[in-house]
Chain A
Amino acid sequence: MQSIERHSKINKQRLSNEFYFQSLLQEAHNQGALSDLEIESIQMQIIKLLADSTEAYNKGLSSSVKVEVAQTIMKSNIYTISLYLKSLPEPDSALDAVKSQPLSDLYSLGRSMINTKINVARYLYHLVCKTKIQTTNASYNDTIGEEGIKGFFKDYHADYEAHETSGSIDYQLMHPITDLAGVEYIIQYLQNWHLENLFCSKFEPAILHKVMCGYHESYADLLVNIFGQALQNTLGCAMLHKEILDLNLEATDIRKIKNDLKSETKESILEILQQNAATIIKTLGITNTSLKSYIWASLPEIASSIHFAIKNDTLQKVFVPRVNLASNEIIQYIMGAKTDDESYRKIVNEVRSCRYSDDKIQIIKEQFKTLSDIEDILLDCELEESEAFIIFNMLGDVEIGVLVKRHPCHPEINAIDFSEAEIILQQYLDNYLQTMPKKRIKEIQTIGSNIAII
C-alpha cells in the first residue's frame, strides 16, 4: 500500500538550512501562499522586534545604534525564528505559524530552543573530549582546547549574535558543514567529530601517527583530517585482506591496488569500497548506526579521489604507506601553564633588582615550576651566562632538549629574525652544550628531534 503524503505548496528542497525563514517567505510568496500585504506585515513585525532587541542591547541608554550592529541583531533575530520554524514538521506548518502567531512569540520559542541546543552542544563537546585521540596534529589539539570550541561556549551571545559561530575551529572534518550557522553548526560539527573520534579510537595512536607521517612528515602542522586517512588505509587493507587494525600498506600493496582498480569506473570503485566498508564495520565491531552512516557517506568522495589518483598515478597519496618511526618514538612534552602576567611582572622586577646571583636563582627556584615560565625568565631577566648555566643545571635532559629545539643556535640566519634576548639565550644554550660530553649532547639532540612540544 502506498503511503499518503500531505500535498505541500512549498518545496522543502528549495528551502535553505542556514536562511530558513527568508527562504520560506520567498518560496511562499512565489507560490502565492503569502500576499504582499502579509509580507509587509511580517516586515513591520521584524522591525518591531528589532527595535525591542536594540533597546535591550542599549539597556535603554541610547536610542540609536550603528547600522552594522542593527543588521547583526536582525540577523540574529531571524536566525532564532528560523530555528523554531525548522523544528516544525513541514514547511506548511512553519508558514501557518508565521501567519497565525506574532513573530515575537516565535522568537521567544526559538530563543528557548537555543538554550536547549547550547546544552546539547556542551554534552557533545564533553563526548568529543572523552573520545579525544592522542595526536600531535596542532589543528586537532587547538580546536578541542581552550582557544578552540571551548571559546564558543564563552563568547556565544544568543541574544544578539545567535547566528555567529564564535570560537576558533580549524580542524577539518571529513564532511565539511556548509549550510548551518550558530549553535546548529557547532552541534553538527561536534556530532561529526565525535563519530570520527569513535572510529579513530579503534586504532592505536602510534599506528595512526605512523599513517599520518606517511601522509606527510609535518602533518602535525597541517590542516588534515585524520579519520579520512585512517578510513582510506583501512579500505586499502580490507581490499588486500590484510590486518585492518595495522593500517599497514607497503608500496607494493599500493601498486597492487592500482593494478586491481585501474580498469574500474568510479561507480564500480564505489561498489568495491562499499563491500569492503561492510567488512571493516564487521571486523571493527562498529554497532553505532550514525557511525556506520558516516562511513557510508564518506565512500563516494573516497571513490572519486581513488579514480582520479589512478588516472594521475598518485594513488600513494590516497593509500599512504606507514612511515616507521619505531626508533624515533615521539615524546609529547607539555610546557605547563604560565604564571599570570601581573604576578610574573612582579617576580621579574624582583629578580632584576637582586644584586647577587644566589638571590636571583633562589627566587626563580621558589616561584617558577613550569618550563614555559623558566623559558620566559631566561628571556626577560637579562641573566649572566653563569646564572643561566645554574638554571640549565637544574633542568633534566628532556627540558634542555625542549629548550634547544625551541631556541636552536643559527649563526647562519640573519640576527634580524630574532630578538636580542633570543639570540643571547641561543648562545647560552650553545655554550652550555659545549661543556657537556659528546654522548650526552647527542642524546639531547635525539630527544629534541623526537619531541612534540604542547
Chain B
Amino acid sequence: MSFDLMLFGGSVLEKQAVSEILEINKITEQFGLTLTRQQALELVETRSYTLKNTGRIEFGGGVLDKIIKSFCDSPYISHYNYQAILHELVEIFYYYKNETLDQMSDDDLILTMKKHFNGKCQGSLDLLKCRELEKTARNLRNGYDPEYEEIDSPKAEEKNNAIY
C-alpha cells in the first residue's frame, strides 16, 4: 500500500483555497484590487506548481491569503499589475522558504518581503528577489542577523553596531 505524498490530490484543497482568496476581495477592493474566480484559480495553480518545483508540501489554506492581505496596500501595486505581482510573490516566497533553510516563519518572511518591496526595491521584484532577499538568506545561512549589512560603508557599520 503506497502512501506517496504526491498521490494526495488537491482538488478539494484547491477549491477551498480559491474561495478563501475570493473572500479576501472584500478587504482588497478598498484599494481597487480584486481577483476573479479564474484569476484566483490560476494563483492557486501557481502555488501548486511552485510547491512542486521547490520540493515543498503545504496543508490547509496556505499563505496565499497572508501574501494578498499584506501586499494589497502597497503603493507599487495597482489593478494593472496586481495579478502578475501576486504570481511572482508566491514563487519568491516558496523559493526563499528553502533558501532561508526554513529559519524564518511565514509571517516574518512576508514582512521582510513587504518591507524591501515597498522600501529599497521600490516595487521591483527583480531587486527584491536577486538582491535583498538573497542578502537576507545569505545572512541567515551564515548565522548572522537577517538585517546584517556586508557593505563596507560607515552606514552599514553603524547599522551592524546597532544590531549587535
For the complex, give the distance between the alpha carbons of A54 and B5 in Å: 13
B1 touches A26 (CB 8 A): yes
Chain B residues close to A by CB (< 8 Å): 1, 3, 5, 7-8, 51, 55-63, 94, 97-98, 102, 105-107
A61 touches B106 (CB 8 A): yes
Chain A residues close to B by CB (< 8 Å): 22-23, 25-26, 29, 39, 43, 46-47, 50-51, 54-55, 61-68, 70-71, 74, 78
- A19 vs chain B, min Cβ distance (A): 9
For the complex, give the distance between the alpha carbons of A51 and B56 in Å: 13
For the complex, give the distance between the alpha carbons of A47 and B4 in Å: 11
Interface centre among B1, B106, B107 (most CB of A within 10 A): B1
B56 touches A64 (CB 8 A): yes
Q: Which of A67, A68, A74 contacts B3 (CB 8 A)?
A: A74
The 5 listed contacts between A and B (C-beta, < 8 Å) are A50-B59, A61-B107, A62-B106, A64-B57, A66-B57
Q: Is the interface of A mostly helix, strand, loop or mixed?
A: helix
A22 touches B3 (CB 8 A): yes
B3 touches A78 (CB 8 A): yes
For the complex, give the distance between the alpha carbons of A55 and B105 in Å: 12
Residues of B within 8 A of A64 (CB): 51, 56-59, 62-63, 94, 97, 106
- B37 vs chain A, min Cβ distance (A): 23
Residue of A nearest to B4 (CB): A71
- B14 vs chain A, min Cβ distance (A): 15
Residues of A within 8 A of B59 (CB): 47, 50-51, 54-55, 63-64
B5 touches A63 (CB 8 A): no
Residues of A within 8 A of B60 (CB): 51, 63
A71 touches B5 (CB 8 A): yes
The 10 closest A-B pairs by CB, nearest first: A61-B105, A51-B59, A64-B58, A25-B1, A26-B1, A70-B57, A22-B1, A64-B56, A67-B55, A62-B106
For the complex, give the distance between the alpha carbons of A43 and B61 in Å: 20
For the complex, give the distance between the alpha carbons of A26 and B1 in Å: 5
Residue of B nearest to A75 (CB): B3
A43 touches B8 (CB 8 A): yes
For the complex, give the distance between the alpha carbons of A25 and B1 in Å: 7
For the complex, give the distance between the alpha carbons of A88 and B102 in Å: 39
- B79 vs chain A, min Cβ distance (A): 27
Residues of B within 8 A of A68 (CB): 55
- A249 vs chain B, min Cβ distance (A): 52
